[in-house]
């Protein structure tokens, strides 16, 4: 099968965007020059170039003619192209290695190599330039470029009547450079970054550098760099963001290029952009596949396995190396979550984990070794465990997760395959793994066998085929004959494929043993430059698209990801821990190309039509992390890479914008509001067809829009709507506009003069004593009630994977990406995780006794008394079992202790330093005050904010108040309790001048948990019975409730 190419308008425009920059340049053909033949030249003065009929004079070379246009003309040409393509205009010519440095941005999968190949031919046709150098960042891309040049030879020859002479630079074959210089045909040299970086370091010690910069006997005593530079080539950089910085740019400059053309989907260093087809453009024009994501999240995870993941090793000048390790943490609720934090040598994971038993013994970091030239960085623990960067230890649920991922990949494959088969499209699925042994193993005799993932695949495939085939045999009798025949043909083909033959591994190969081996990573990279592996991948590219080839499921090393750009990959599954180094765009990029049928014809919008192109071209990503994490990262990756566009006013642009009439009133524009505002702008000629504000708007704003044109509730927001529209052309229009309310800039919050007021000092002296308590209740009664509650209320969730699935919306906007709304509605499915077999032992009695604040004897009696079915729940999730049993005991204890508690004042007191606790992270929730003992009150809820406002404005009633810090605690038998407020009233305004208050959103005691009710009851008893009679405590909902409570005590 051969790929078929056709002329596509967007690719033609991309080439034209470059060629038009040089409009006015004379076409003088190849520019002859006297070539330096060196000291050893002899013969008849001519040499034949293989593959070309032309005989050329050996002493004559052909270079690119220099650019004849001045800087002003070039910049004006660039501006014309940028205006045509709606690109922000350059203020001046970009600096770089060449006089002209252009950027062409094209989304992965839209044919960059095709475009710059066409561009070279157009530059030759229009201006006579013939010498080009393509620089690529890796062996994978180099091999792909070489194959593309080969595949498109005939296609472009039919268009231009010319062939391109191309070769890959090799320092051992310097004759290629000589022929490159001598030929007047179109010549292309392809060089990858590794060869380029070593070769271009003048004076470097590497063999390549010596060859490039020294006079070589085998090269007629000439320096290769001089021979290349004499051609004044045009340099094309494919993926320049992966090629380093200043050193690479300096190396390119030594080629003496007349122009540098940069092609990428994600430019980091920008030049003069002339064409942009970013992710939004490509998707909305139906030039790439639609993405569907299946994400997995482990719910109710256990903490019994000692899970560790070495995420990174950070090094700095002034600190020792720090290991960033992900581990499991026991939360206060008893649930387990994963958390990553930095650890230095001698740091212990056990306390950081919330004292999970699995980390008790030996999980102290003993050694941290950063990455080096010869090995990955690693961490050692006192118990002997050693982790290399990227390694996972003790993930007991990993095997369950990988089985579920493989099962869902096969399921997605089969769901698509039948419909694709009917269209003559071969469906492929691609698994990326991080270790060959997980797919293929070898015994002592060298005989190969299946690794863990290979075995799981064959088991799940057999199961899926059995279920799928059985379902297909029960075809509805009403199916028409044509559909029935198509389905039968597919089933016959499917049943003829052996499970063992339908999957294949593509990995690096050991030259001696011919065994599959792990790919060697480039330093500071997750990619490999294994040439043999890429050769195999590219060699089989077309064969894999044939229905005669049984391989449909491909396993490959994640380091070889860059080499896979097969258009018929419809499923990508990463069977490895998700890491932060691999961007999500990079992860899905290998499957974005539109598919081809068995004839090699691209199944694009022209072939399938608007309704079918996305339905056929859908890439399903079976992620190794939760749906929300993956899609959030993917949308951020896409949004961050989007070009700067001349903004336009659209309904999507207006929707969701937070407008503000005053400090207290903020409102987000709805879809209906956005429609009304947009219609008014169009009706009054304030924006044009493309949403660009007109001169009328720039001169008079919204003055022509009357109240009749807008809904009544938007009248107050006219000024902000005007500023929003103005921001399309004035980037400073919203500088003074606050979208999220009046957020003060709070750097510190010290005590102010109110703290020293006599009213507060008197209140503070009455409440700042610390207390202890004694309580006497019947242990037997507590045990009986606790057993009854546990039997009634205890339910422990089993660990399970939740799979969430959704696909991209049919149309994408930048606003949707920014809001994280580019994916549609989700569906959910649950998978149970197998039983834990970690062997971690727990001091069950001790942990329950400690958490519930009871004796071990009482804990033993309660656990012995609960129903066996409840006690067996301990196996499902030990940490959650302990936490929930303890809470049941505490809840019963809370209802019993209030009548039997007695508080005793201690000599120790709280001092004023407790008000200097660290600032909250959300300083946006700061209310500036006048009666509080600090300048700001940080509120946790809108109810607290309103309560503080009312206290602050209660002139003649409230003298001074404080928001009590969390460290102001009252001990109770069911846990410490921290009230919210301390309030001093003006003397004479109320009977009880001093009040300690708790603000709750609801006064209904049924909505409060038993433990919380117990704490409040204890606080009420302390302040209302044992403290000074001038101090009262109660729970209130609002300031009005506070006054009602006070009046009730008078």
Give strand pairing partners of 1031: 994
Residues 999, 1001, 1002, 1006, Cα dihedral to 10°: -90
pLDDT digits (tens, 9 = 90+) for 702-756: 888 887 888 888 888 888 888 888 887 776 677 554 443 334 445 678 899 999 9
Cα angle for residues 751, 753, 754 (degrees, 5° grid): 85
570 within 8 A of 416, measured Cβ to Cβ: yes
pLDDT digits (tens, 9 = 90+) for 891-918: 888 878 777 888 999 999 999 888 876 5
Of 872, 900, 928, at which residue does a domain stop?
900
Rounded Cα distance between 974 and 178, Å, is 87
Write the CATH number for 109: 3.40.50.300
Tokens of 713: 């509730």
Helices 878-897 and 844-852: crossing angle in degrees, nearest 10, is 40
Cα angle for residues 135, 137, 143 (degrees, 5° grid): 80
Is residue 249 located within the same domain as residue 371?
Answer: no
Helix (H, G, I), strand (E, B) or coil at 588: helix
Nearest to 234 by CA among 254, 250, 256, 258: 258
Is residue 507 located within the same domain as residue 534?
Answer: yes
Rounded Cα distance between 506 and 575, Å, is 15
Is residue 860 located within the same domain as residue 977?
Answer: no
Rounded Cα distance between 1043 and 1045, Å, is 5
Of 393, 424, 447, at which residue does a domain stop?
393
The domain tally of the chain equals 6
Rounded Cα distance between 792 and 802, Å, is 27
Rounded Cα distance between 961 and 99, Å, is 70
**Residue 743, domain member (yes or no):** no
Is residue 412 located within the same domain as residue 379?
Answer: no
363 within 8 A of 349, measured Cβ to Cβ: yes
**Residue 735, domain member (yes or no):** no
Is residue 338 located within the same domain as residue 373?
Answer: yes
C-alpha of 376 from chain center: 24
For 483, residues 6+ apart whose C-beta sits below 8 A from its C-beta are: none
Helix (H, G, I), strand (E, B) or coil at 400: helix
Verdict on whether the full-model pTM lies above 0.95: no
Of 363, 393, 423, at which residue does a domain stop?
393
Is residue 629 located within the same domain as residue 679?
Answer: no
Q: What is the DSSP letter of 427?
A: -
pLDDT of 747 reads: 60
Rounded Cα distance between 361 and 194, Å, is 46
Is residue 940 located within the same domain as residue 793?
Answer: no
Q: Characterize the bridge pairing of strands 386-388 and 994-999.
A: unpaired
For 560, residues 6+ apart whose C-beta sits below 8 A from its C-beta are: 140, 506, 507, 508, 519, 527, 528, 530, 533, 534, 537
- Banded pLDDT at 470 (limits 50, 70, 90): low
What range does the domain containing 83 cover?
Answer: 9-39+50-277
- Banded pLDDT at 528 (limits 50, 70, 90): very low
**Residue 830, domain member (yes or no):** no
Tokens of 221: 């005593």
pLDDT digits (tens, 9 = 90+) for 857-866: 999 999 999 9
**Residue 365, domain member (yes or no):** yes
Is residue 519 located within the same domain as residue 608?
Answer: yes
Q: How many CB atoms lie within 10 A of CB 581?
A: 12
**Residue 44, domain member (yes or no):** no
590 within 8 A of 567, measured Cβ to Cβ: no
Nearest to 506 by CA among 497, 491, 517: 517
Give strand pairing partners of 997: 981, 1034
Rounded Cα distance between 582 and 807, Å, is 21
Is residue 415 located within the same domain as residue 351?
Answer: no
Is residue 416 located within the same domain as residue 564?
Answer: yes
6 within 8 A of 603, measured Cβ to Cβ: no
Q: How many residues does the chain have?
A: 1050
Q: What is the mean pLDDT of residues 118-136?
A: 96
pLDDT of 1028 reads: 66
**Residue 433, domain member (yes or no):** yes
pLDDT digits (tens, 9 = 90+) for 327-383: 989 887 777 888 889 999 999 999 999 888 888 888 999 999 988 766 778 999 998
Tokens of 74: 């070039």
Is residue 127 located within the same domain as residue 29?
Answer: yes
58 within 8 A of 37, measured Cβ to Cβ: yes
**Residue 45, domain member (yes or no):** no
pLDDT digits (tens, 9 = 90+) for 827-881: 888 877 665 545 566 788 988 998 888 899 999 999 999 999 999 888 887 878 8
**Residue 820, domain member (yes or no):** no
For 536, residues 6+ apart whose C-beta sits below 8 A from its C-beta are: 506, 509
pLDDT digits (tens, 9 = 90+) for 694-711: 888 888 888 888 878 888
C-alpha of 172 from chain center: 43
Is residue 167 located within the same domain as residue 267?
Answer: yes
One DSSP character per residue, 644-655 reads: P------HHHHT
Nearest to 142 by CA among 508, 592, 540, 531: 531
Whose tokens are 């896409």? That residue is 638
For 1004, residues 6+ apart whose C-beta sits below 8 A from its C-beta are: none
Strands laid side by side in the 378-381 sheet: 365-369, 378-381, 386-388
């Amino acid at each position: 099968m051969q790929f078929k190419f056709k002329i596509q308008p967007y690719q033609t425009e991309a080439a034209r965007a470059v060629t038009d920059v040089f409009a006015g340049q004379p076409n003088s053909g190849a520019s002859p020059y006297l070539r330096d033949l060196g000291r050893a030249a002899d013969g008849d003065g001519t040499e034949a170039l293989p593959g070309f009929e032309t005989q050329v004079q050996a002493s004559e070379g052909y270079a690119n003619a220099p650019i004849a246009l001045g800087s002003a003309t070039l910049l004006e040409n660039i501006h014309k192209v940028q205006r045509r393509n709606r690109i922000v205009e350059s203020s001046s010519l970009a600096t770089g290695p060449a006089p002209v440095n252009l950027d062409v941005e094209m989304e992965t999968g839209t044919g960059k190599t095709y475009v710059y190949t066409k561009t070279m031919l157009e530059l030759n046709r229009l201006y006579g330039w013939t010498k080009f150098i393509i620089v690529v960042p890796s062996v994978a891309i180099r091999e792909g470029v070489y194959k593309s040049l080969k595949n498109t030879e005939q296609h472009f020859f039919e268009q231009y009547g010319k062939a391109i002479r191309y070769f890959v630079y090799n320092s051992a074959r310097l004759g290629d450079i000589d022929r490159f210089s001598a030929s007047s045909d179109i010549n292309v040299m392809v060089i990858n970054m590794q060869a380029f970086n070593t070769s271009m370091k003048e004076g470097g010690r590497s063999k390549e550098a010596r060859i490039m910069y020294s006079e070589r006997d085998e090269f007629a005593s000439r320096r290769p760099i001089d021979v290349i530079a004499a051609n004044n080539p045009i340099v094309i950089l494919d993926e320049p963001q992966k090629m380093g910085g200043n050193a690479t740019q300096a190396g390119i400059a030594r080629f003496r290029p007349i122009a540098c053309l940069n092609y990428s989907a994600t430019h980091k260093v920008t030049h003069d952009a002339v064409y942009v087809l970013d992710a939004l453009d490509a998707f909305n024009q139906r030039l790439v596949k639609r993405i569907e994501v299946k994400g997995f999240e482990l719910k109710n995870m256990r903490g019994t396995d000692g899970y560790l993941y070495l995420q990174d090793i950070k090094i700095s000048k002034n600190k020792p190396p720090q290991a960033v390790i992900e581990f499991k943490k026991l939360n206060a609720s008893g649930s387990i979550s994963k958390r990553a934090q930095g650890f230095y040598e001698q740091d212990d994971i056990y306390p950081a984990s919330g004292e999970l038993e699995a980390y008790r013994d030996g999980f102290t970091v003993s050694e941290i070794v950063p990455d080096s030239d010869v090995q990955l960085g690693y961490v050692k623990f006192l118990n002997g465990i050693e982790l290399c960067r990227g390694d996972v230890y003790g993930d007991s649920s990993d095997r369950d997760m990988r089985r579920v991922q493989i099962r869902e990949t096969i399921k997605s494959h089969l769901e698509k395959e039948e419909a694709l088969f009917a269209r003559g499209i071969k469906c492929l699925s691609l698994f990326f793994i991080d270790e060959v042994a997980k797919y293929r193993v070898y015994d002592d005799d060298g005989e190969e066998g299946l690794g863990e993932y290979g075995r799981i695949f064959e088991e799940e495939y057999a199961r899926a085929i059995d279920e799928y085939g059985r379902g297909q045999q029960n075809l509805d009798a009403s199916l028409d004959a044509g559909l029935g025949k198509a389905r039968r043909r597919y089933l016959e083909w499917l049943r003829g494929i052996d499970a063992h033959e339908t999957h294949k591994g593509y990995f690096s190969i050991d030259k001696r043993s011919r065994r599959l081996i792990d790919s060697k990573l480039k330093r500071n990279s997750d990619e490999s430059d294994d040439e043999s592996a890429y050769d195999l991948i590219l060699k089989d590219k077309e064969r894999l698209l044939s229905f005669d080839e049984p391989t449909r499921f491909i396993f490959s090393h994640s380091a070889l990801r860059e080499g896979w750009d097969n258009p018929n990959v419809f499923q990508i599954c990463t069977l490895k821990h998700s890491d932060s180094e691999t961007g999500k765009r990079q992860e899905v990029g290998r499957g974005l190309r539109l598919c081809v049928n068995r004839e090699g014809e691209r199944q694009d919008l022209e072939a399938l039509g608007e309704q079918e192109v996305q339905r056929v071209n859908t890439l399903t990503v079976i992620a190794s992390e939760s749906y929300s994490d993956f899609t959030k990262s993917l949308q951020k990756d896409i949004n961050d890479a989007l070009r700067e566009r001349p903004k336009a006013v659209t309904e999507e642009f207006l929707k969701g914008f937070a407008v503000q009439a005053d400090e207290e009133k903020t409102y987000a524009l709805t879809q209906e509001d956005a429609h009304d505002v947009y219609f008014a702008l169009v009706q009054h000629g304030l924006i044009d067809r493309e949403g660009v504000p007109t001169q009328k708007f720039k001169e008079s704003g919204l003055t022509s829009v009357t109240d009749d044109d807008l809904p009544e509730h938007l009248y107050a927001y006219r000024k902000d709507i005007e500023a929003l529209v103005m921001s399309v052309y004035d980037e400073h229009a919203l500088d003074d506009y606050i979208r999220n309310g009046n957020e003060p800039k709070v750097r510190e919050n010290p005590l102010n003069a109110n703290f020293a007021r006599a009213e507060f000092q008197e209140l503070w002296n009455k409440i700042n004593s610390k207390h202890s308590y004694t309580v006497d209740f019947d242990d037997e009664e507590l045990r009986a009630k606790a057993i009854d509650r546990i039997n009634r209320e205890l339910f422990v969730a089993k660990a399970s994977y939740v799979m969430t699935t959704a696909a991209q919306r049919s149309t994408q906007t930048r606003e949707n990406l920014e809001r994280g709304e580019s994916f549609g509605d989700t569906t959910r499915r649950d998978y149970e995780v197998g039983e834990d077999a970690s062997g971690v032992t727990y001091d069950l009695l001790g942990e329950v006794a400690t958490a519930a604040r009871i004796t071990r004897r009482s804990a033993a009696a309660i656990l012995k008394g609960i129903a066996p079915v409840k006690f067996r729940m301990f196996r499902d999730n030990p940490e959650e079992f302990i936490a929930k049993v303890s809470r049941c005991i505490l809840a019963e204890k809370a209802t019993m202790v209030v009548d039997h508690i007695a508080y005793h004042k201690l000599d120790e007191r709280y001092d004023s330093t407790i008000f200097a606790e660290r600032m909250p992270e959300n300083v946006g929730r700061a209310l500036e005050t006048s009666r509080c003992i600090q300048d700001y009150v940080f509120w946790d809820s809108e109810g607290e904010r309103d309560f503080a406002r009312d206290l602050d404005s209660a002139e003649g009633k409230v003298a001074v108040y404080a928001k009590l810090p969390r460290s102001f605690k009252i001990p109770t038998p069911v846990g410490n309790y921290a009230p919210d407020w301390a309030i001093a009233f003006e003397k004479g305004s109320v009977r009880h001048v001093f009040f300690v208050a708790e603000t709750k959103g609801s006064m209904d005691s049924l909505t409060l948990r038993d433990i919380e009710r117990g704490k409040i009851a204890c606080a009420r008893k302390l302040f209302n019975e044992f403290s000074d009679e001038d101090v009262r405590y109660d729970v209130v909902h609002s300031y009005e409730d506070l006054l009602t409570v006070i009046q009730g005590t008078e």
